[in-house]
A and B are shown apart, each in its own frame.
Chain A
Amino acid sequence: MPIPVNNEHYDLEFFHRKENSSYEFEDAPFCVCKGRPANQFETKTFRVLKGVNGNDESLFVFSTNLPTTEIKPKDRVKFMGKFWSVQSVGYYLDAARLINPSCLSEEQIVERCPKGLNLQ
């Protein structure tokens, strides 16, 4: 069995919200990818691209190849046997080990960095 990238053992299944409904979600996931809970150091370097972070008890997820363009805040996620709501989508700046991010464009930095989610 291959070793997962960055120890990402768990599946993330994303569900869109149904149109004209605030609490019903589609049955089939539109996207499935791998992830894991972020550790304390990674959590501190989380930069938000979309949405706002939740409260202190919210969960940060580390997922290297997360399709950030497809996922929106308020989408539903099945992660580690539980359903969560996406609070924000972003990336972990320090985890990319950039020597000097200031010279690079925003797109290049986002492309290089592992992505993440804030769930609640």
Chain B
Amino acid sequence: MRNITVISHYDDDNLKFNENTGRYELTTQYIKENFGPAYANDKVLAQRIKLNSQVVYNYINLHVATVNKPVVNFLLSRTEQGRQFILDLLSAQQYADIQTGYNDLMFQPVINFNGQDKDRLAIRQNALCVAAEQVLEESDNYFGVRITYQAQFPWPFFAFIRNYN
């Protein structure tokens, strides 16, 4: 198990913690500095930031094994490595959103009046852009374990988070 720095969640120039949802969100300042004024206006920008976090966290929740969820929640919200991981993940996904409006992929109608339907599974599987998915797949670089591992994590992870609950 890698050395993990436990923190209490905090805000800085790049990320802010939303107390209501329990999710980190990118700041407007970070997006404007890195990606430029790509959205129609500031109100849209605020909405897209929230939507981005929602899409990314939902994707993680969907792909984490149920038994590991307490550990993953702890790693994402209470560790410095988790903070860095979320920043990389949200940045990649936000950039895809700026290019094409990617986060609306999940919210499009899947059937039209002609009765043609879209592949629901393909939409679910592609909810994250490839760059963000790559960050997620390489999560062992941050935590020493791949968070989407579909079996139970090694016992030291559970022993570790037990001290903080």
- The stretch from B11-19, B70-78, B98-106, B153-161 touching chain A is B98-106
A103 to B44, CA, bound (A): 6
Given contacts A99-B100, A99-B102, whether A104 and B108 have CB atoms under 8 Å apart is no
Are A103 and B101 closer than 8 Å at their CB atoms? yes
Question: Shortest Cβ distance from B41 into chain A, in angstroms?
Answer: 8
- Could you say which of B37, B48, B108 contacts A103, with CB atoms under 8 Å apart? B48
Assess whether B100 is in contact with A97, with CB atoms less than 8 Å apart: yes
Interface string of A79-120 (1 = CB under 8 A from B): 000000000000000001111111111111000100000000
Complex Cα distance, B39 from A104, in Å, reads 4
Q: Which of B38, B40, B101 makes the CB contact (< 8 A) with A99?
A: B101
Binary A-proximity of B40-61 (CB < 8 A = 1, otherwise 0): 1100100110000000000000
Q: How far, in angstroms, from A96 to B101 measured CA to CA in the complex?
A: 12
Given A98-B100, A99-B100, verify A105-B105 contact (CB < 8 Å). no
CB nearest neighbor in A for B51? A103
Give the nearest-CB partner of B104 in chain A: A100
Instruction: Note all chain A residues with C-beta closer than 8 A to B39.
Output: 103-105, 108
Let me know if B108 and A105 touch, CB within 8 A: no
Q: List the B residue with the shortest CB-CB distance to A105.
A: B40
Which residues of B sit under 8 angstroms from A105, Cβ to Cβ? 37-41
Question: Would you call A99 and B98 a contact (CB within 8 A)?
Answer: no
Interface flags, B75-107, vs A, CB<8A=1, else 0 = 000000000000000000000001111101100
A102 touches B40 (CB 8 A): yes
- Collect the chain A residues with CB atoms within 8 Å of residue B100's CB: 96-100, 112
Q: How far is the CA of A99 from the CA of B106 in the complex (A)?
A: 10
Min distance, Cβ A21 to any Cβ of chain B, angstroms: 41
Residue from B47, B48, B99, B102 with most neighbouring chain A CB atoms (10 Å): B99
Given A98-B100, A108-B98, A112-B99, the answer on whether A103 and B105 have CB atoms closer than 8 Å is no
Complex: how many Å from CA A98 to CA B102?
Answer: 8
Q: B residues within 8 Å of A by Cβ?
A: 37-41, 44, 47-48, 98-102, 104-105, 108
